Every structure is written in structure tokens, then in C-alpha cells.
Chains A and B, each alone.
Chain A
Amino acid sequence: MANTSNSGCTVGSSAQASEPVAAVTPLGHTATRDLRIADEHLARVLRGEDFLLFDGAMGTQLQARGLAAGEIPELLCLAEPEQITQIHAAYVAVGSEVVTTNTFGANRSKLGKAASVDEIFQAAIACARASGARYVAADIGPSGALLQPMGTLSFDEAYELFAEQVRAADAAGADMFVIETMADLMEAKTAVLAAKENSDLPIFATMTFDEDGRTFLGTTPEVAAVTLSALGADVVGINCSLGPSDVAPLIKRMLPWASCPIMVQANAGLPHVEDGRTLYSVGPDEYCAAVATMVDAGVTVLGGCCGTSPAFIAGEKALLEGRQVVPRSISQDFCVTSAQQMTAMPAGHVGIIGERINPTGKRLMKEALRSGNHDYVMGEAISQTNAGAQILDVNAGLPEIDERATLVRLVSELQGVTTLPLQIDSSDPEVIEAAVRTYPGKPIINSTNGKRESLEAVLPIAKHYGCAVVGLALDEQGIPTTAEGRLAVARRIVDACDRLGIARQDVIIDCLAMAASTDQSAPRAILEAVRLVKRELPDVRCVLGVSNVSFGLPFRPLINATFLAAAFGAGTDLAIVNPMSERLMDVVNSWRVLSGEDERAQAYVAAYAQRSDAKPEGGRPASSGTDAQAASAQKEDVLASPEDRVRSLVLAGRKGPVADAVRLILDDPDNTHDAMYVINKVLIPALDEVGSRFEKGTFFLPQLMASAEAAKEGFSALRSDGSANDVPSKGAIALATVKGDIHDIGKNIVRMLLENYGYNVIDLGRDVDPQAFVDVVVERHIQLAGLSALMTTTVPAMAETIALLRDQAPWCKVMVGGAVLNPEYARMVGADFYAKDANESARIAAEVLG
């Protein structure tokens, strides 16, 4: 897989080196929410016109006063309110306009039974008010648990934790929220949503970064700035992390990408211990000198984090004395993000949206979505990423499946295999909202159109969640035939976006490619429409899905490629295409030279210096390593029958040549061997032999799995040429790692083996809610369920799942496995079978299902 996760930002082909091309834009940030703003000074701060000075550390001050390691500091708001007020007052005395409440960890899950969230916020805000500060900011830190899919906290649970804090703080009289020290962009997004949906107070949101310029979870400053400001945070920035001179370069990377004011609260360097006292490496003077460079770059909201004291704030106060806000230039690039990567394109650059994750007209994709086995989808995502896609379209629109659940799951899984930003593709606004709400980044919504009903349903979602949005140039009357007609619809869409405050560069008009074979004037009309939209609606972007144009014509890729070149020439910014099509990517790469996007044609020369139209020998590309291996393997085994070859390849765990060998069996002119023959007489016996070697200890686990992999190649070969279509499934098995447990390796091994034996495995993943598991078993009337748990703490969840199964799906047999289980324990939790390893699970499946 290409090393996409290492590139913080792709600006067309020239990566993040290019400075955003933008005129100096006075910030003039206007929140479109109706905010409750304490006074005119704060309003000016939020417009980027005035500085605002926060306070410094609370935790370090409490530690200096004897707070024990691990003690819950928030409880001191109740126990020793005078102490807390004293700390606030010391900051106010040196010039802090805002004091931040002592509520960093005051959520229901961290406080437990010690105190209620309401109590703490009431007390903490009272302490802050008593200091005489001009403004009181309610502090909201991370929940302490990690969100799904890496952790087990669900979006809804996290949202509720934050929403409770927001409501408590608002009721207790806070002036604003500071959501801070976030390392997970999804958690930051959840907190911002909870704040904006439960209060109308301004939101300040900051994340914490590591020495390598990313958060612990891999978010870059650019991604944080784009995503959180699009989402509606009123000020974004960086806190904690590092000393100010290490934070400065990171904050400078944020400045061009946030459409709101920028805030910084760095640490006073690194802590060390001297004579039992914790000291920090950076003093107030050095600290303020570094902060000054950030103010000169356009930062307007200041304060301090760990290790800072009133002396630091006094220095910042002096620093701001007599200074004017430095105007910033904000990028006008089109940009979207995933949690780890930004795809940004200045006007004039072209971008590729991969179209392959869409069931329309694709048999294998339909099968994958219907069965819930998403291996194929993940494969398509990886191929498109490697082929040069910059954004991936994701569509799960099949009438017979639950589109909402499928799309949400796909969006989550895709982030496991690609860091590209996603385009959420659905015609159902509810499905769109479910997907973008839980997407950690700024996606594109595909799509709305000129119909009033669609605009009213989709645009508010785009605005609320800070998404870019595709608008199709059609309306109640259908697709206009003329360029002017399409422009008129586009204008209506753009006007509606303008009214909602959606930035022009986030609006992408699709002028809709139509088949040249039905109306030969259509392609010209489309290109003319693109030209008109670009001229008449400045800053708006255009997208085209080109493949429709060739419908009904032979050798479609050629027509598509020619049309794509013309579309780029007309001003199209984004193309929805199959990036695995070499011909199309040739057009893209060569266009980037002609347009000047590929500076000094560097990328082109690197990729094409060796290319020519001469066909490589044998009409195939130069032989790759695996081909060479396959050839040598063929030589070795040339005397063996194809059946023996497949068998020995499976036993040796060599998947490369298996598919060819399987095809040899099917193609044998003397026999009429079908898929059933290959499965029952060749693959399954080979797997049985593998299982017996594993049993005897002559194979260890990786060998068992390598063999399973090789056999899987054989099954895929049968499936991809359609010969396995009439092979009946041996029955369905539901698998899951139980609620609370995130170890899925054992379950994945079992799944691999059972699939090979011809079972339809429904893998519900890890950390699976008991009732959700039972629902699937009931809905599909599944006969055998497999549950895995690795930790003693999660075995009760296994027992609970089995109890629910007994009650609601009494027909279903249950096998369990995992490191902490044994036959006795398995009986105790109520299972029918204990599977000591994957091999055993295949034996159990054969016993139950045949």
C-alpha cells in the first residue's frame, strides 16, 4: 500500500510544500449559529479583531499545593473552593481575561460516584466567578476512553458524556467552552457537536500534538484546523503537547487552514524533578518570546498549559500591550479531510475521486454488500488508493439491504485500510447524516440537486457537519438539455448554499455527463455548462462522472479518456472515475503537466520516462516477482497432476500459483471437472491434511493460516470465474468478539478457516453488543454461533450473550474460545462447545452443520 499515511497533506501533486494561494483575507469570521456572546469585546475576538488572554495551568498549581498523583482534582471545587478561587484570582491579577474552570475530567465516567457532573460544574464555575474574571470558560477534557473503532466507546456514549457537561456548564453560567487536550479528532468532533447542539455559547477547541507533528492518533494540525473550524468551532488551536518553540511551527501550519481565530496554550517545556519538586524547562521570558512569533503569525488567543504560572501570563499580557492583530491569509483551496490526511486543491488543480465502491452494475460489489463480507470492498479501496485516487466515493445503495447501517459500517471499516478522505454517496438524507455525523473528518456529501426538497434536506446537514457538497444540475423538471439550463439550476443550488453560509469552495456542481450515443450534442452542452458555471459562479468547483458519456459505444475507455481531457480543459476540478484505468490516469497525469499543476513536470517525468506505446513482449507487463515465482513453481511441479499441485501448494502455504493451478484443473480437456470437484476432492482434503498436521503439532499456527490463505485463493479463483455460483453454502455461522473485548485475532483465524470449509461466516467484529449479536442470529436464523473473549473481565459479556441467545434463539448452538477459556469455563458460561483452537472450530462446525 502506498505510504499515504505519511503525507500530511496532498495539495494536488505538489504536496504540502505549496503555500495556499490566496489573497489576504481579513478573517471577518461570522459564525452562522446564533451565538450567545457575553459582550462586544468577545464578539470582536470571535471575529478575529481582538486578542484574548486566557490563564495558565491549573493542574500544576494544584500539584504544587500537594495534590496527590492520581487524585481527582475536580473534587477540590467542592472540598476546597477557596484554594481553587485563589489560583484563578492569581491569574486574573496578572491580566487573564478568561479563567478556565477546574473541570478537565469532570465527566460522569471519570467522576464515578464521587460527585455529579452538575455539582462539579456549579461549584467550579462559582469558584471561577469569585475570582472576578471577565469571562469564565468551562473546561472539557477528553473522556479518558477511546472511541470506536480503535476503542470501545461508542459515538453516542461519548456524545452523552460531553452533552451532560455542556448542559451543566451552560446552566451554571459559563461564558464559553474550552474543549482541550484532544488527541482523537473523532472525540474532538463529538465534543464540538455536543456543545453546539446543547448550547449556544462559543466553542474554543484545541488538540494536543506530539514531537512528530501529529496527535497520538495521527491527526495533523492542518486536518484539525480544517475539520474543527468547518464543524463550527469558533476558535481552534493547540494546547499542552510541547514547549512553545516546538508548538510554533505546528500552529503556523494551522493558520492558513482554519476559517476562525487561532489559539495557543503551550506547556512550559518538559518537566523534571529537583529535590522532590517538579520543575519545567522553559521560563516565562523564553516562553513569551516563542509566543510572540506566533502572535506575529496571526494567533490571537493566548494562555498557557502544564507548568505555566501567573508569571507566564503576566509576560503574555505585556506582550500584547499595544500590539495589533496581524491579518492572516486563509486558504481558498478546495479541501477535505480524513482523520489523518488532508486532500487540498488550489483552483486550477484537478482531483480524482475513486468511483469503485458502488454496487451499481457490479456483481462482486453487490455480493459483498449483501453478504456483509466486505473483503472485496476493502480490496477495492486499497487498489484505488494505490492507483492515485485522492478521495473515495462510498455508496451502499442496494434496495435489499439496510443502507444506513451498511454505509456507516463501511465508512468505519474503510478508515482501517485507507487514509483518503471519503465522499458519502446516498440519495437518502437520513443515511447521509448518519454517516457524516460519525465520520472523523470533513467529507464530501454526494449529493443534493436543484429540487427544493433535496436542498432543504441535504444542505443543512452539509452546513451543520461542515462538509463539502455535490449539487447535481437537475431539478423537478429533470436534467436541462442546454448549458444555460444547467447553469440556472446550479445558480439556484449555489444561492441556497450562500444563504446557509456554506463556503463557495465547498460547493461542487455536477453538470451530469450524458451518453453521446443517444444525443450527440450532449457532450458539448455539458462542457459548455462547466465553462458557464465556472465563469458565472466564481469559486464554485465542478465535478464530473465521465463514464456515462460512452454508454452504448464500443471501446468505452477511449471515449471516456478523450471526454475527460475535454472536461479538464473546460474547467472541471474533480473527476469521479475508476483510477485503476491506466488510460484515464494517463489523461490525468498528462493534463497536470499541461495545466502547470505538475511543476516542472516532475511527477510526470518520474512516472513516464520509461513508457512508450511499444507493447511489452507477450502483451503483458514485465514479469513481477510473483510471476517469476509462479513460473519457477510451475517448472518444479510440471510433472505432477494439477490436483497434486494444488494440494502441495495448499500444504506449503504458497498462495501465489494456486489460482492458475485451479484453473488448470477446470480446463483439463480430458475431464469435465467442475467447481464441486475442486472443492470436495482437492481443496477440502488438503485442508483436512493441514488440520491434522496442526493437530499433531507438525504445523504451527502461521503454517495453518498460510495454508488457509492458499486454499482461499483457490476458492476465489472458482468464484471469480463464476463456476462456483451454484455451489451451495454449507450454512451460516455468526462470529464475534464479545462486548468490552477488542482482541479479534483469534476470531479472525477462526473466520478464515470456516470460510475455507464453505461456511457463510457472518463476522460481527469485536466489542459486539450482546443484543446486536442475537438480533443477527434471529434475523438470519443462524444455527451456529462462535464467541471469543480474551480477558477475564469480558467473560461475563460472553455469558450474557449466551443467555440472550438461549432465550431468543434456542435453536442456535454456541461454541466459545479464547485465551482465558477452558472446557469447564465454557460450560459455566453456558456454551455447547469449547473450541481450543481454530481447527477445533471447523470440526465443531462440521458436527453441527455438516
Chain B
Amino acid sequence: MASTLRIARESYRIKGVSTDDVLRYLGYHGQSFDGQLARRIDAAVVRCLTLAKPRGTLAAFYVHRHDEKAIELEGCTLCLIGHDICAHLDTASEVVLFAVTLGADIDRELRRLSLTDPLGQVVFDAASTALVERAADAANAHVRAYAAQKGAFTSWRFSPGYGDLPLFTQRDLLAALDATRQLGITLTPSDLMVPTKSVTAIVGVHPTPQPGLESSCSICSLYDFCTIRQTGRTCRG
């Protein structure tokens, strides 16, 4: 069967993010705080949901060559280097790349807050980090549905900079996805993505279930975006 996943651009409707996630990004560990701060966090989440345009671009490629140090893909110039990514994708026959972003309005708001309201910036930043992770979950759910359709399973999403996969992988990954044109994601010479609330990821398509796959739908981070469940099945079979 041909590798057929190529989504130039898709939008994600995300209705909310968990306050626990936002608090976690704010370094929270159980302190008691008052209603004023809680309202500020809620307001930041609402504003973030208003300004964000969560979108993604995805493409699947067959694994062309795979050893313990590098993976080459068919029809793609991206080469994945490092022991960690190679171990992670050891049984993958196919690799899905994706990039998601919340768009430039989030960066503009962060800049506005950096000039006017440092606390507001910290809280908004945490809210948007939580949201972009949700966007990555949404893209990942799409990948999992694609794999399930082929009777295959996905590994957890791996990003440039994890383990020994170099950050410069970002450049070829974004190029392979044409992410600048599709989503407006650009890269600084130091390999930082702008808009800053963007995530790139590499997901393997494997013949057998992979570690990290949640054993129950109810605790799955992709629950909200899952399209497999609607068919009466799960990604575990």
C-alpha cells in the first residue's frame, strides 16, 4: 500500500486546556493561591484560545534505510541521526512527520505582554504552551488513525532536540513539510522556531503496539481528537 498521508494544512478545534497543565508550566507544586490569580490564569487561557489558530501539516514517508545511527526516508531529504531516534523507530516501516503551530498572533500577544505586563506574559506563555501541546496531540491523533487504518501502531512522538537527535534536524524537517509556506513557521539561525508556539514531531508506524500507548482511552491525551473511537474500535485493536 502506498504511503498516502500528506496533509498540506489542517486546522484543529480545541475547546480548552487543562488548568493543571498550565499550572505545571508555571512551576506549581501544591501552593495555596487566591482567586485573583486563578481568575488571571483562566482569563489567559480564554485569551489564548481566542488568538490561537492551531494548525498542522503532516506527511508520511517509508523508511528507506535504517541502522543504529541513522534513518533515511524514501522521497525525502531528511535524515534522522542518533542512537535514540533509531532505537525509538527500530521496527517502524514508515515515519510520519508533522508540525503544528498556534500562529503569529500568540507571539504578538507575548510581545505586547513583555512590554506591559511581565506576570501576564508568564501566565499567557504557560497557557499557550499547554495549548500547542494539545495541537500536537490533535495531529498525533490523526497519525494514529492513519496507522490504525493500516492495522499498525504508532510510537510516541519524538522531537528534534530530544535525546541525541540534533536540534538542527528542525531545518530539514520543516523543509520536508514545506512548513514555512503551509503554516508560516520559520527558523532562526540558532534553530528556534518562530512562531515560538510551534511543535515538530516524528512518529513511527510500527507493526506491533508500542510502549507508551495508553491502556485505556479515558486517560489518553489524544482522547479529544480521536477519530478511531467513533468507529467503535480503538487504536489497540
Contacts and interface: CB of A to CB of B under 8 A. Distances in A.
Contact of B76 (A68, A212, A270): A68
Contact of B104 (A212, A216, A697): A216
A149 B122 contact: no
B78 to A, nearest CB: 6
Given A697-B29, A748-B114, A793-B190, A703 B78 contact: no
A150 B192 contact: no
Given A273-B6, A702-B122, A70 B175 contact: yes
Interface string A261-279: 0000000001111111010
Contacts of B180: 142, 144
B190 A218 contact: no
Contacts of B116: 375, 378-379, 382, 417
Interface string A745-787: 1001101100000000000000000000000000000000000
Nearest to A705: B119
B31 interface: yes
A64 interface: no
Interface string B67-87: 000000001111000000000
A688 B29 CA distance: 21
A785 to B, nearest CB: 20
A10 B178 CA distance: 35
B108 A416 contact: yes
Interface string A372-388: 00110011001000000
A278 B75 CA distance: 13
A181 B181 contact: yes
Contacts of B148: none
B199 to A, nearest CB: 15
Given A216-B104, A706-B119, A416 B184 contact: no
Contacts of B172: 70
A698 interface: yes
B191 A793 contact: yes
Contact of A183 (B41, B108, B184): B184
A567 B42 CA distance: 48
Nearest to B34: A652
A417 B112 contact: yes
Contacts of A700: 26-29, 31, 33
B6 A271 contact: yes
A245 B27 CA distance: 48
A413 interface: yes
B103 interface: yes
Contacts of B181: 181, 208, 240
Given A417-B115, A417-B116, A701 B26 contact: yes
Interface in B21-54: 26-29, 31, 33-34, 36-37, 40-41, 53
Interface in B171-203: 172, 175-178, 180-181, 183-184, 186-192, 194-196
A149 B105 CA distance: 13
B18 interface: no
Contact of B186 (A146, A149, A275, A706): A146
A792 interface: yes
A382 B113 CA distance: 12
A109 B171 CA distance: 12
A744 B111 CA distance: 9
Contacts of A275: 2, 4
B125 interface: yes
B119 A702 contact: yes
A742 interface: yes
A70 B78 contact: yes
Interface in A247-289: 270-276, 278
B122 A749 contact: yes
Interface string A408-431: 000001001100000000000000
B190 A794 contact: yes
A149 B116 CA distance: 16
A49 interface: no
Most buried by B among A68, A146, A374, A791: A146
A703 B104 CA distance: 28
Contacts of B121: 745, 748
Interface residues on chain A, size class = 35 or more
Interface string A2-16: 000100000000000
A181 B182 CA distance: 11
Contact of B119 (A150, A216, A698, A709): A709
Interface string B1-25: 0111110110000000000000000
B123 interface: yes
B26 A745 contact: no
A71 interface: yes
Contacts of B26: 700-702
A151 B191 CA distance: 11
Nearest to B189: A740
Nearest to B168: A793
Q: DSSP majority for the B interface?
A: mixed
B33 A749 contact: no
Contact of A653 (B3, B37, B177): B37
B128 to A, nearest CB: 11
A811 to B, nearest CB: 29
Interface string A534-570: 0000000000000000000000000000000000000
Contacts of A652: 34
A212 B53 CA distance: 10
Nearest to B40: A702
B190 A740 contact: yes
B224 interface: no
Most buried by B among A151, A216, A652: A216
Nearest to B177: A69
A108 to B, nearest CB: 12
B196 A698 contact: no
B118 interface: yes
A699 interface: yes
Most buried by A among B29, B78, B112, B118: B118
Given A70-B176, A702-B37, A151 B3 contact: no
A111 to B, nearest CB: 13
Contact of A741 (B115, B186, B190): B190
A218 B103 CA distance: 10
Contact of A278 (B6, B9, B111, B194): B6
Interface in B98-133: 103-105, 107-108, 111-112, 114-116, 118-119, 121-123, 125
A145 B192 CA distance: 10
Interface in A703-731: 703, 705-706, 708-709
Contacts of B184: 183, 216-217
Interface string A163-205: 0000000000000000001010000000000000000000000
A68 B188 CA distance: 24
Nearest to A374: B115
B61 interface: yes
B112 A416 contact: yes
Contact of A69 (B27, B61, B111, B119): B61
B213 interface: no
Contacts of A792: 167
A61 interface: no
A797 B192 CA distance: 14
A654 interface: yes
Contacts of A218: 104-105, 108
A412 B116 CA distance: 14
A358 interface: no
Nearest to A339: B108
Contact of A745 (B41, B76, B114): B114
The 4 A-B residue pairs with the shortest CB-CB distance, nearest first, are A216-B184, A740-B190, A276-B2, A70-B176
Given A700-B31, A706-B119, A745-B125, 12 more contacts: A69-B77, A70-B175, A144-B187, A150-B111, A181-B181, A652-B34, A653-B34, A700-B33, A702-B122, A743-B196, A752-B118, A793-B191
12 contacts: A69-B61, A109-B189, A142-B180, A150-B194, A218-B104, A276-B4, A702-B41, A702-B119, A742-B188, A748-B114, A793-B191, A794-B192
